[in-house]
Amino acid sequence: MSMQIFGLAVSRGVAIGRAVLVASSRVDVAHYFVAPEQVQAEIERLKAARDEVVAELAVLQAELPADAPSELSALLDVHLMLLRDEMFIGATRQWIAERHYNAEWALSAQLEVMARQFDEMDDDYLRERKADIEQVIERMLQSLARGSGRGLPLPVGADAGAMRDFGGEQPLVLVAGDVAPADMLQFKRSVFTGFVTDVGGTHSHTAIVARSMDIPAVVGAREASRLMRQDDWVVIDGDAGVVIVDPPPMVLEEYRFRQRHSELERARLDRLRHTPAVTLDGQAVELLANIEMPADAAAALQAGAAGVGLFRTEFLFMNRGDDLPGEDEQFEAYREAVAAMKGLPVTIRTVDIGADKPLDRLSAAELRHGQALNPALGLRAIRWSLSEPGMFRQQLRAILRAAAHGRVRILVPMIAHMSEVRATLEAIARARRQLDDAGKPHGPVEVGAMIEVPAAALQVQSLLRHFDFISIGTNDLVQYLLAIDRADESVAHLYDPWHPAVLRLMAQTIATAGRMGRGVAVCGEMAGDPAFTHLLLAMGLRSFSMHPSRIAVIKQTLLRADTRKLAARLPQVLDAEDGAKACAQWLGDDASPA
Ligand code: PEP
Ligand code: MG
């Protein structure tokens, strides 16, 4: 039966496909299709993993001390019984044989099926046995990982397009409770064409990465992963934030039409790539790119970006366990981005670890379980870097070395205190001295501050005595100004970039930087949203940084703007009583030529 599920629209476009339900903790499990001739070998991998875990548990059981609690031995019995259960292994094998799923994917698909069966049981004791299944499958996944690269969506060297053909005449969409930002990076190389999550806000990092990859997505859909079944046909309407399960043929046809239409629209916008970004009244505007990985620089250049305005380097550090990238690895990554931009400036932000971007899965789980009481207000971004001075200087040395190969700027996230400014500038100076001592070449850099904490915005004049430029991170500025957790869907309706307090603070910040003759950019999501382009131009902004996929549409919007006329309309909007009125007033008249 057809059903609509409402969530938050976070990444535009339409995806149509069959639902693949994946437990949040297993979103990073490899998902790929195996070639028909490799199906048997994949089944053997599964069996080998099963046999290894059986042997492991048998040894554990044999070596249990005599005084061990009897429950422990009983638990091992249950796990061994499950592993030997032909129904469980047979059903998992079927995912491989019939769907051509890889063994890890087959296991997580089977886990989803069994978890639901357990959830529906009346008997408390039996219902709790779900944990046993989870543990057994976790052990098998670990065993598979020891044998091959778990965590990669495709085997190294595999080609996503080719893999897709084996099992996938039908497109697939991922449905999960949650997807961590770092896992999103794997999406591009995975078999999925869209995703739906139960939790998350429009400005969560998961949503931001989805937008940057142009993947249709709906987050905060609450019960979606419970209401949908494995294999349901699903339409993800990323523009409206709606998921339609089992759509009637007429609805499906309408969405297929919209899919084709947006492809045509995209092709039309692509033609603007080489058009200079200049308004009707001759104001040149700088359109920069936000990137997460050095490889994204190619898309930035392709989209016609004038440089990188925000390189979120923390993505190099996530999901690495204890194996964090050292100075040389980071240097290579930064140099790669610099080289790819072919002489255009690259703004490298020092790591913004913390809040919804913890270092690894373990801390992600801790955050979910509330161990860090208020992570967005806690040890995050520059606070984290200053608490790890060795790692901070390592990153700074890597950036300074990359600066010998092209135009590099350093951007410091979440600055709020003068003591942080001093400590950061001292760390940069010290990193430089260390490079001199080591005889390693380094280059000049401009240093900028992100304006994300209201205190920084209110004190921008003092900050600009120490920094060369500023970049307004509106995602966090809105979060901290309005006290709304950007990743929490339950307060997402209050996350309002149109709030007059937000607009006034931004206008004031941009004006101050302008008076002081310093560069000011906006690199939050507002910069890539055409609803705000004219308003930001009216405030005097001439530098916008956004995901490469947004550059064409923003350029199209500014090409039609006359900044003098826009500026004349600004005071009224800043005086609006609330966000709804500010929005209606601005966009209401905005339809008329600016
Ligand atoms: C912001 O806060 O607006 C920003 C660009 O940084 P991030 O989204 O990575 O926190
Ligand atoms: Mg931020």
Per-residue pLDDT of 189-248, as tens digits, reads 678 889 999 988 888 888 888 888 888 999 999 889 889 988 899 999 999 999 999 999
Task: Please report which ligand is nearest the Cα atom of 477.
Answer: 1
pLDDT in the model for residue 518 = 97
Residue to mutate (ligand 1; options 352, 380, 411, 536; most atoms within 8 A of CB): 352
**pLDDT confidence band for 592 (50 / 70 / 90):** very low
Task: Please report which ligand is nearest the Cα atom of 527.
Answer: 1
Task: Please report which ligand is nearest the Cα atom of 314.
Answer: 1
Show contacts of 383-392: CB within 8 Å, 24+ apart: 383/354, 383/414, 383/420, 384/351, 384/353, 384/354, 385/350, 385/351, 385/353, 386/420, 386/423, 386/424, 386/427, 389/427, 391/324, 392/350, 392/427
Q: Which two tokens stand for residue 384?
A: 């984290």
pLDDT score of 462 more than 90 = yes
Residue to mutate (ligand 1; options 203, 316, 452; most atoms within 8 A of CB): 452
pLDDT score of 99 more than 60 = yes
Least confident of 173-182, 384-393, 527-536: 173-182
Arithmetic mean of pLDDT, 245-263 = 92
pLDDT in the model for residue 415 = 98
pLDDT in the model for residue 589 = 59
> Is the distance from CB of 398 to CB of 438 less than 8 angstroms?
no
Which one from 523, 534, 547, 583 is the annotated catalytic residue? 523
Distance 392 CA to ligand 2 centre (A): 18
* pLDDT tens, position by position, 318-341: 878 788 999 999 999 999 999 999
pLDDT in the model for residue 178 = 84
Classified as helix, coil or strand, 137 is helix
205 is catalytic: yes
Arithmetic mean of pLDDT, 551-570 = 96
Nearest C-alpha neighbor of 12 from the set 236, 201, 176 = 236
Which residue would you say has higher pLDDT here, 193 or 538? 538
**pLDDT confidence band for 167 (50 / 70 / 90):** very low
Residue to mutate (ligand 1; options 476, 479, 495, 529; most atoms within 8 A of CB): 476
pLDDT in the model for residue 202 = 85
pLDDT in the model for residue 46 = 95
pLDDT in the model for residue 273 = 86
Least confident of 21-25, 43-47, 165-169, 174-178: 165-169
* pLDDT tens, position by position, 71-85: 778 888 888 998 999
Which one from 31, 100, 205, 442 is the annotated catalytic residue? 205
Ligand 1 pocket, residues with Cβ under 6 angstroms: 208, 310, 312, 352, 452, 473-476, 523-524
Arithmetic mean of pLDDT, 356-375 = 61
**pLDDT confidence band for 159 (50 / 70 / 90):** very low
Nearest C-alpha neighbor of 158 from the set 30, 19, 47, 39 = 30
Distance 11 CA to ligand 2 centre (A): 18
Give the burial class of 583: count Cβ atoms within 10 A of its Cβ; 0-12 exposed, 13-18 middle, 19 or more buried: buried
Give the closest residue (by CA) to ligand 1 atom 9. Answer: 312
Mapped to the 3 state alphabet, what secondary structure does 313-349 carry? Answer: HHHHCCCCCCCCCCHHHHHHHHHHHHHHCCCCCEEEE
**pLDDT confidence band for 362 (50 / 70 / 90):** very low
Distance 434 CA to ligand 1 centre (A): 30
Q: What percent of the chain has pLDDT over 90?
A: 63
pLDDT in the model for residue 594 = 42
Highest mean pLDDT range out of 34-38, 502-506, 550-554?
502-506
Residues 489-500 as b/e (b if ≥16 CB within 10 A, e otherwise) read: beebeebbbbbb
Average pLDDT, the chain: 88
